[in-house]
Amino acid sequence: MSKEIKVSLVGNPNTGKTSIFNSLTGLNQKIGNYPGVTVDKKEGIYYSQNGTKVKILDLPGIYSLNATSADEHIVVKLLTNSENKDFPDLAVIISDIENLKRNLFLFTQVKDLKIPCLLVINMIDVMEKKGVSLNIPVLEKKLNTKIALVSTRKNIGVVELKRLIENYKDFSKKKTIDINSIDSTYFKNLKKLYPDEEIYKLWVLINQIEFFNEPKNSKIDLSRLEIKSDHDMKRLQQKEAIKRYQFINDVLKQGLKIDSSKAKDFRNKLDKILTHRIWGYTIFFALLLLIFQAIYDWATVPMDFIDSAFASLAEWIKTTFPAGGKVTALIAEGLISGIGGVVIFIPQIAFLFLFISILEETGYMSRVVFLMDRIMRRFGVSGKSVVPLISGTACAIPAIMATRNIENWKERLITILVTPFMTCSARLPVYLIIIALVIPDGKLFGLSYQALALMLLYLIGLIMAIFSAFLLDKIIRSKRKKFFVIEMPNYRLPLFKNVFITVIEKTKIFVFEAGKIILSISIILWVMASYGPDENFDNAEIIITEQFESLSSQELDDKVSAHKLENSFIGIIGKSIEPVIKPLGYDWKIGIALVTSFAAREVFIGTLATIYSVGSTQEDENIETIKQKMLNERRSDGTKVFTIATGISLLIFYAFAMQCMSTLAIVKRETKSWKWPLLQLLFMTIIAYISALVCYQVLS
């Protein structure tokens, strides 16, 4: 047996591919992008009992090999190119018990590529309730494959699935239908051009040419193949579909029995409530309120513990390591403070991903998308735009990637341009710390003011996205009629293992991706704040001593630290931009945080934590946490920096500002031009500046 088995999970959306993937790989997963494209690539591994490494690749959901979107094309390219390093030794086709007929259409297509195929029938725990019975020996014989019956919820069949995967070499490669019978002359001519290639593989590749405009695939020059007219191509596709369903019907006639009297109509009854034009929205917003309330209530204790722990750690390093050393200052004031500014928000971010994962696992998120479509389409956005916009609440980058499912270019462009208005998880640390500083404690109808403020920020982002889409639709007109089709998955209890893995993986990605940026920026900031270009910095103690008489040693240290910070490299940068941001209520320290947070929004907190820590002279018994330092920050006239006016101004600025160079890079890649991301940056910055200016001037 080979030292590594490469397995690709293939299946329709909502068949339980992710659950199977999680059951096989556990936490041995990594997420990246396919080379050259911004489509998620999810990989995992496990080891068989004899030590063989099994590499699992979870492919994007696809209904057939007649691809109509970029993520579907990824699947087709992989399965038709044996030279690809990820080309599978085995394709595991995931189907669910209720949609077996439709799922088998994709199975027959993949099998006809002469790739060893294993059919997994998922969710078998609901067979009895749905009145379904299967004759597995008949199905295996008719389909010329092995079948694994699996229920990830009940942990049934996973061990047997692994055994079958490890014995993939015994699987039959016999085709399900003869594609030549569709048009013998046409396919005979194709075979003459490439006699060593599978005829069905050539047919699949031909169907990709017009949409993706890729003339070559491996050793096959697609430009040499005979391309029929659109009408004739569609006719042949229809004939193929008819032939496949004739085969599938014959198989299921003998292998599948359904007792309709046992089928339950619970799903239909629940759908009528959750998608109701009044109760649907009421339930959705009630759930949002509960989620935001829980994020605050449940995360308070661990956040306070982390905040105090990092403050104590920084103080311990200062008192334990050599006093006055640059390395000591770098670790305590740069690294510890910067990283602490991110780690403190892990509990709330983890809870956010927890709730989102539960909503997706139960099948409710698809109902939310359906609900939102009723609103969105009135403002000129395609129904398919709802999915990226909802995804934008986690991160704008994968949300913008998800727009590849939108075929109409103008609709896709509008969605790309407005998606960054949605409140992403990177904004969450900024919102949470500012809300904690300026929004008072108290409750309204049992809900805290802070939770209500957080929900309001999410709604503001959604409203601005819709309004911007409406304006862009008037500017970029599209006469193409918009259709919206979404599959409603069955309701199910969330699987704890899936929820746990999702929370761990998403939180880990957030922390480590943000951590790389914050770690490097914290070091740079510390260096820039610890050194200055002229004598004003070098002679700080002499200057302060001459200006102030009879200062205590503590007061002298504080004055010297403040003077050095203002005359450091970073202080000079902050002072230079202060005139621009002063009308918004920001001082030069906040200005520095605004500039650095363009790398990533969450860097805002880490920057302030680093700046406020530089030169700190607090004794161990008077340790200040990040929140306390920000709360106690004063202007030169003695007034507090973080007032209601300044706080609301900052919240509104971050609600509308782009402040994320990674998102700009993705927009450039998706639009293949710098024009759109630069216009997007300019538009969002102007909106953010004007809105923040109005808020501060009115509230102050």
* Structural domains of the chain sorted by starting position, each given as residue range(s) with its CATH number in brackets: 4-262 (3.40.50.300)
> With bands split at pLDDT 50, 70 and 90, how would you rate the model's confidence at 222?
low
**What pLDDT is attached to residue 477?**
62
Q: What do you get for the CA distance between the two ends of the chain, in Å?
A: 74
Q: What is the largest CA-CA distance in the chain?
A: 103
For the ranges 39-53, 158-172, 308-322, 552-566, the maximum mean pLDDT occurs at 158-172
> Does residue 554 carry a pLDDT above 80?
no
Among 1-10, 184-193, 270-279, 663-672, whose mean pLDDT is lowest?
Answer: 663-672
Among 45-59, 448-462, 476-490, whose mean pLDDT is lowest?
Answer: 476-490
Residues 396-413: what's their mean pLDDT?
Answer: 72
Ramachandran sector of residue 6 (left: φ over 0; alpha: ψ -120 to 50; beta: rest): beta
Q: How many CB atoms lie within 10 A of CB 575?
A: 15
Q: Residue 316, exposed/middle/buried by CB under 10 A (0-12, 13-18, 19+)?
A: middle
Beta-bridge mates of residue 7: 56, 90
- The tokens describing 158, both together, are 């996973």
CA pair distance 101, 104, nearest whole angstrom = 5
CA 509 to chain CA centroid, Å, is 10
Q: Residue 101, exposed/middle/buried by CB under 10 A (0-12, 13-18, 19+)?
A: middle
pTM (2 decimals)? 0.62
> Does residue 15 carry a pLDDT above 80?
yes
> Does residue 160 carry a pLDDT above 80?
yes
The model's pLDDT over 328-378, given as tens digits with 9 standing for 90+, comes to 877 877 777 667 766 776 787 788 778 878 887 888 877 877 787 777 777
| 342 close to 518: Cβ distance less than 8 angstroms | yes
Among 268-272, 366-370, 383-387, 662-666, whose mean pLDDT is lowest?
Answer: 383-387
Backbone dihedral angles phi then psi of residue 364, each to the nearest 5 degrees: -75, -30
> Does residue 631 carry a pLDDT above 60?
yes
**What pLDDT is attached to residue 513?**
65
For the ranges 43-57, 122-136, 283-297, 685-699, the maximum mean pLDDT occurs at 685-699
> Does residue 617 carry a pLDDT above 50?
no
Residues 225-243: what's their mean pLDDT?
Answer: 80
**What pLDDT is attached to residue 56?**
93
CA 370 to chain CA centroid, Å, is 20
Q: How many CB atoms lie within 10 A of CB 639?
A: 8
**What pLDDT is attached to residue 338?**
66
**What pLDDT is attached to residue 404?**
66
Sign of the C-alpha dihedral, residues 324, 328, 332, 338?
Answer: positive
> In degrees, to the nearest 5, what angle opens at C-alpha 447 toward C-alphas 446 and 451?
170
Neighbouring residues of 159: CB distance < 8 A, sequence distance ≥ 6: none
| 56 close to 44: Cβ distance less than 8 angstroms | yes
Neighbouring residues of 488: CB distance < 8 A, sequence distance ≥ 6: 271, 363, 366, 367, 370
For the ranges 178-182, 261-265, 515-519, the maximum mean pLDDT occurs at 178-182
Supply the mean pLDDT for the chain. 80
CA distances from 226 to 192, 202, 221, 251, 278 (A): 11, 11, 11, 33, 54
> Does residue 475 carry a pLDDT above 90?
no
> Does residue 35 carry a pLDDT above 50?
no
Residues 162-168: what's their mean pLDDT?
Answer: 92
Residue closest to 93 by CA, chosen among 154, 8, 21: 8
| 525 close to 334: Cβ distance less than 8 angstroms | yes
**What pLDDT is attached to residue 621?**
36
> Does residue 679 carry a pLDDT above 50?
yes
> Does residue 486 carry a pLDDT above 70?
no
Residue 236 or residue 484, greater confidence: 236
Give all strands (DSSP E) within 436-518, no chain letters. Answer: 443-444, 447-448
> Does residue 700 carry a pLDDT above 50?
yes
